Amino acid sequence: MSQTYIGSELDLFSGARNWKCYFSRVLSPFIGERVLEVGAGIGSNIPYLYGPRVREWTSLEPDAALARRIVDRAAAGELPRECRVVAGTIESIGPIARFDTILYIDALEHIADDDAELARAARLLAPGGNLVVLAPAHQFLFSPFDRAIGHWRRYSLRALARKMPRGFRVRARLALDSVGFLASLANRLLLRADMPSRTQIAFWDKILVPLSRIVDAATGRLFGKTVVVVWSRAS
């Protein structure tokens, strides 16, 4: 089933290299051989997460135009040529498909029925496979920007962890970007902007994210503007 994405921020955030390097290092231990990335956008996360262990990578993107951009980028050598692209939703993946890792990177909050989505994803995981969700935190930070790009919600770490599918266990639950939280709070209370500028993104990525890496490590990754939960399917 194809859908049209209403957001316009994908190209804007694609250059946030420090942020993508940061969360990719956190997620890399959970990346297996066969990977499904749900809501892959324009494929901006692939270069950071496609490591030597990966044998198959499927990019699932409901917007056909965005999915085509992933295909074009792989053909141009910007992405691994082994990337398979499916234009559709989780329902477009055949029931016999099995993955070692399923990723939702800034994607689950775009899906109205997230419980049903996670239940479908759980059925596609191989025994011992990992279901990884990275999502925006704190509903009180919900802003015009969230609304403009089609977010249904933001998550607390506890609320997201409670969505664990049956037969799974929690492997990791943590928060990232503690310093970036201040920028989000300022936008929510003061700026109320529906889209950050390139200057703001650059300041966040080059200044705030490196600071967050230090503060997050010192505080045990207990607080931030992004939450990460990893569930593992029983073997």
Q: Domain spans of the chain?
A: 10-233
Residue 170 has pLDDT above 70, yes or no: yes
Pick the CATH number of 10-233 from 2.170.130.10, 3.30.470.20, 3.40.50.150, 3.60.110.10: 3.40.50.150
Main-chain dihedrals φ then ψ at residue 68, nearest 5 degrees:
-65, -35
Q: CA nearest 82: which of 117, 50, 110?
A: 50
Model's pTM, two decimal places?
A: 0.93
Q: What pLDDT score was predicted for residue 191? A: 53
Q: What pLDDT score was predicted for residue 93? A: 94
Residue 23 has pLDDT above 70, yes or no: yes
Q: In this predicted structure, which of 44-48, 137-141, 187-191, 199-203 has the lowest mean pLDDT?
A: 187-191
Beta bridge partners of 226: 136, 176
Residue 192 has pLDDT above 70, yes or no: no
Q: What is the mean pLDDT of residues 120-139?
A: 96
Q: Are 153 and 139 in contact (CB under 8 A)?
A: yes
Q: What is the mean pLDDT of residues 204-231?
A: 96
**7-20 pLDDT tens trace:** 667 888 888 999 99
Q: What are the start-end ranges of the E strands in the chain?
A: 34-38, 56-61, 83-87, 99-105, 125-136, 168-176, 226-233
**84-106 pLDDT tens trace:** 999 999 999 988 889 999 999 99
For residue 5, give the 3-state DSSP assignment.
Answer: coil
